[in-house]
Amino acid sequence: MKNLLEDLDRLRKVVGDVKVQGPGIEVSLEDSDYVPDGEDPNNYIVHEFHIQRVVHELFVAGAEAIAINGYRLTRQSYIQCTGPVIRVDGQVSSAPFVVTAIGDADILESALTLPGGVHNQLVNDEITVRIQKKNSILLDPHLMESG
């Protein structure tokens, strides 16, 4: 019975139904400051697939909860690109895009910075990436819906 309750609690956290607090990381993604003359500026901005790479890697690495610019991801979330902005579940956000994840900060950071992994792919796409460990993060889906 205890295992079932633990599984239920873990699943509620992952699907975004309950408040989650704990250590984790923040990953900031910013558009490139430099666009060479004659180049398409769209090749130098953050797109939804960049954010999705980060989110997927964090979930695979064991993140309990994830938010993008304060919008908590749920089991029904979607990320959509509209020019220089993205929509997270219909909420418009602009760069810098801050992906916040709760979980073991060392493991989450290691997953993103594997050689040839997500961090390297983002840098190769001219995206500015900053990863910062945090001692305490609070992700509350109810607070984020109202604000």
In this predicted structure, what is the pLDDT of residue 146?
33
- Report the alpha-carbon distance of residue 37 to residue 5 in Å, rounded: 58
In this predicted structure, what is the pLDDT of residue 87?
92
In this predicted structure, what is the pLDDT of residue 17?
66
Decide if 94 contacts 84 (C-beta within 8 A): yes
Label residue 97 exposed, middle or buried (CB < 10 Å: 0-12, 13-18, 19+). Answer: buried
Grouped pLDDT means (10 residues each) for the chain, 147 residues: 72 68 96 83 87 96 92 87 87 93 97 96 94 93 48
In this predicted structure, what is the pLDDT of residue 49?
94
Decide if 111 contacts 60 (C-beta within 8 A): yes
In this predicted structure, what is the pLDDT of residue 24?
97
Strand-pair category, 128-139 with 20-30: antiparallel
Q: Which domains does the chain have, with CATH numbers?
A: 2-146 (3.30.70.1880)
The residue assigned the tokens 């219909």 is 90
Label residue 115 exposed, middle or buried (CB < 10 Å: 0-12, 13-18, 19+). Answer: exposed
In this predicted structure, what is the pLDDT of residue 60?
94
